[in-house]
């Protein structure tokens, strides 16, 4: 199969994404508008008959002081990763990006390598000798994913020691997902642990109501999000980021981004944003107030978002990143504990890979990033 690669229009890119069961929300054309500080390009792979068979959203970040770029394909490109001729897909991409002035390419193959179900994670947490998710025997292993990683290595792609945590908006390698395909909602609810079911009931009894918001409610979202940032010690994104995200994503598809609030006695006490691409739904950002935690607004909100995802015909509800630490003293442990309660599965992606097109500049960037 001979493949050619060229720049395509956003319309072509979007039409291709819409023809698939799903793709990452970071590979839809509108994501380029969300990341407005990067230059962007839509790439298309064509087979011998001229049919579009793959797409990629590339974000270019210029290096300080020189006209050279880091080319980044977050959770992409959207190609056939299991193709035996993977090299024929990636070679033209590297040649094209080099022509565009890229000195280094970073990509995140949307390929899952292992999965652990909730029971396996729970037994890992209870075992004092187990400190990390990867010390627990996986419930499911995808042998083809190992082949992908071997092919990438042979082609000269590299991964950092830490599994690829290098430049910029590095995406989580471990995520937590609730599968919805071929399951009833009752089945989904039954696989929640006791605490989750109790908390959902508690919220209901306390009169917590979960409602959807619109663009005009992003200020209220921001207020709760900044409270959360202060409590959890992270730097919040500005309100303008969420406004841009809402406008860009929902202009492309009116159902791409949703906003939810958990209300109690007329007050918003928790909020979340949700993203939808085909059959894949992501819980992307969450926020909550410092008070009224006892009415369990976050559990109520997740349950509503799960039900809505199910009603949309989603095959997976994705709670996004977790750390792989199962150590109860780790500050990120609460996150995995909360998500495991949904009875879903942890999944490990192949991680992000780099291809240095100019070894000297790539090395300089590494040094520059490690000092920041």
Domain co-membership, 364 together with 244: no
334 pLDDT band, cuts 50/70/90, is confident
pLDDT (tens digit per residue) in 203-251 = 999 999 999 999 999 999 999 999 999 999 999 999 999 999 999 999 9
How much is the pLDDT for 161? 53
Same domain assignment for residues 104 and 117: no
Please tell me whether residues 33 and 67 are part of one structural domain. yes
Asked if residue 343 and residue 243 are part of one domain, the reply reads yes
Mean pLDDT of all residues in 315-331: 92
Burial (0-12, 13-18, 19+ Cβ within 10 Å), 355: buried
pLDDT of res. 321: 92
Radius of gyration, CA atoms only, the chain: 21
Q: What is the mean pLDDT of residues 122-138?
A: 94
Same domain, 256 and 158: yes
Pick from 133, 124, 130: nearest CA to 346: 133
In percent, the amount of the chain with pLDDT more than 70 equals 96
Q: What is the pLDDT of residue 163?
A: 44
Q: For 1-21, what is each residue's pLDDT tens digit?
A: 689 999 999 999 999 999 999
At 168, the pLDDT band (50, 70, 90 cuts) reads very low
CB within 8 A of 108, min separation 6: which ones?
A: 73, 74, 75, 76, 164, 171, 349, 350, 351, 352, 353
Whichever domain contains 15, its CATH number is 3.40.630.30
> Mean of the pLDDT values across residues 53-62?
96
Show the domain range for 159: 112-349
Region class of 161: left (phi > 0), else alpha (psi between -120 and 50), else beta: alpha
Which residue has better confidence, 256 or 368? 256
Greater pLDDT, 370 or 138: 138
158-174: average pLDDT: 64
Match 């094209």 to its residue by tokens: 96
- Alpha-carbon span 94 to 100, nearest angstrom: 10
**Using an 8 Å Cβ cutoff, are 57 and 97 in contact?**
no
Tokens 């210029």, residue located: 62
pLDDT of 325 > 80? The answer is yes
Sign of the Cα pseudo-torsion (213, 219, 224, 226, in order): positive
d(CA 3, CA 187): 44
Among residues 169, 138, 290, 303, which one has the least CA distance to residue 237? 169
182 phi, psi to nearest 5 deg = 55, 30
Across-strand partners of 43? 7, 56
The answer to whether the beta carbons of residues 70 and 167 sit under 8 Å apart is: yes
Note whether 205 and 321 are same-domain residues. Answer: yes
What total number of domains does the chain contain? 2
Quote the pLDDT of residue 365.
74
How far is it, in rounded angstroms, from Cα 92 to Cα 88? 7
Q: Are residues 162 and 308 in the same domain?
A: yes
44 and 71 in a single domain? The answer is yes
Domain check: are 177 and 303 in the same one? yes
Q: Are residues 364 and 323 in the same domain?
A: no
Whether 265 and 137 share a structural domain: yes
pLDDT, mean over the chain:
94
Predicted TM-score (pTM) of the model is 0.93
pLDDT of residue 372: 57
Distance of alpha carbon 24 from alpha carbon 179, whole angstroms: 16
pLDDT at 169: 44
Residue 209 to residues 200, 217, 257, 270, 358, Cα–Cα distance (Å):
11, 16, 20, 11, 55
Cα–Cα distance measured from residue 33 to residue 247, given in angstroms and rounded to the nearest whole number: 9
Contact 287, 297 (CB under 8 A): no
Contact at 8 Å (CB) between 64 and 14? no
Q: 345-349 and 112-117: which strand pairing?
A: antiparallel
Q: Are 5 and 43 in contact (CB under 8 A)?
A: yes
> Are residue 41 and residue 165 in the same domain, yes or no?
no
Residue written as token pair 């990452």: 24
Q: What is the per-residue pLDDT across 63-119, written as a single tens digit (0 to 9) for each? A: 888 889 999 999 999 999 999 999 999 999 999 999 999 999 999 999 999 999 999
């Amino acid at each position: 199969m001979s493949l050619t690669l060229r720049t395509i229009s956003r319309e072509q890119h979007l039409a291709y994404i819409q023809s698939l069961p799903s793709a990452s929300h970071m590979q839809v054309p509108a994501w380029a508008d969300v990341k407005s500080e990067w230059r962007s390009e839509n790439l298309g792979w064509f087979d011998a008959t001229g049919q579009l068979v793959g797409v990629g959203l590339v974000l270019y970040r210029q290096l300080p002081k020189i006209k050279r770029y880091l080319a980044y394909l977050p959770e992409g490109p959207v190609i056939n990763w299991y193709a035996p001729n993977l090299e024929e897909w990636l070679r033209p991409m590297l040649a094209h990006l080099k022509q565009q002035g890229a000195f280094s390419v970073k990509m995140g193959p949307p390929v899952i390598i292992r999965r652990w179900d909730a029971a396996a994670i729970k037994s890992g947490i209870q075992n004092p000798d187990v400190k990390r998710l990867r010390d627990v025997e996986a419930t499911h292993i995808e042998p083809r994913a190992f082949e992908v990683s071997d092919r990438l290595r042979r082609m000269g792609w590299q991964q950092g020691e830490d599994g690829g945590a290098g430049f910029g908006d590095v995406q989580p390698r471990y995520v937590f997902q609730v599968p919805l395909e071929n399951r009833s909602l009752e089945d989904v609810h039954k696989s929640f642990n006791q605490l989750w079911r109790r908390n959902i009931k508690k919220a209901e009894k306390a009169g917590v109501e979960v409602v959807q918001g619109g663009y005009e409610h992003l200020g209220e979202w921001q207020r709760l999000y900044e409270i959360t940032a202060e409590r959890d010690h992270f730097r919040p994104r500005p309100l303008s980021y969420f406004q841009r995200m809402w406008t860009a994503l929902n202009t492309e598809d009116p159902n791409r981004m949703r906003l939810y609030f958990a209300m109690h006695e007329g007050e918003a006490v928790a909020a979340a944003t949700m993203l939808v691409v085909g059959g894949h739904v992501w819980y992307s950002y969450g926020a909550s107030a410092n008070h009224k935690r006892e009415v369990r607004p976050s559990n109520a909100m997740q349950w509503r978002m799960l039900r809505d995802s199910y009603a949309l015909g989603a095959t997976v509800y994705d709670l996004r990143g977790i750390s792989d630490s199962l150590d109860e003293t780790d500050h990120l442990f609460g996150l995995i504990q909360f998500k495991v309660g949904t009875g879903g599965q942890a999944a490990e992606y192949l991680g992000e890979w780099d291809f240095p097109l100019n070894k000297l500049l790539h090395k300089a960037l590494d040094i520059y990033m490690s000092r920041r």
